[in-house]
Amino acid sequence: METCVVCDGELTELGTLGNRLHLRCRQCGSDQSVLIEPKPKGRIQMTEALARAASQDAGNRSMKKSNRTSWSREDYNEAVQEFNRLWPEVTP
Ligand SMILES: [Zn+2]
């Protein structure tokens, strides 16, 4: 349990906002907040950069499979498809 930095009193939880837990002291009424460590996730969090890297790999895989040294339209499509699968965000 967190204690007040001002008076060492007991803190009540007001709630979390973003990655901060907001607290109020029962004794002096001062508001404080502590940073909450994000919970470790079992799987890797997908990011746009990661999706791009993976789609690059997919394109290269497709290229090597067909013994090409540069991307064909087919390889490019393969990469785009993989990117859209991993990062299905609609871009305007
Ligand atoms: Zn206090």
> If you write DSSP's letter for every residue of the chain in order, what string do you get?
--B-TTT--BEEEEEEETTEEEEEETTT--EEEEEPPPPPPSSPPP-HHHHHHHHHHHHHHHHHHTT-SS--HHHHHHHHHHHHHH--PPP-
Condensed to tens digits (0 to 9), the pLDDT of residues 4-31 reads 999 999 999 999 888 899 999 999 999 9
Same domain, 29 and 52: no
pLDDT above 60: residue 91: no
Is 53 inside any structural domain? yes
pLDDT above 80: residue 92: no
* Residue bearing the bigger pLDDT, 37 or 39: 37
Parent domain of 7: 1-36
CA of 20 to the centre of ligand 1 (A): 18
Same domain, 30 and 52: no
Q: Please identify every residue whose CB atom is under 5 Å from ligand 1, which is an ion.
A: 4, 6-7, 9, 25, 27-28
Residue 89 has a pLDDT of 75
Same domain, 55 and 29: no
Condensed to tens digits (0 to 9), the pLDDT of residues 58-87 reads 999 999 999 999 999 999 999 999 999 999
Place of tokens 């013994």: 67
Is 92 inside any structural domain? no
Q: How many domains does the chain have?
A: 2
CA of 41 to the centre of ligand 1 (A): 34
Condensed to tens digits (0 to 9), the pLDDT of residues 40-63 reads 667 777 888 999 999 999 999 999
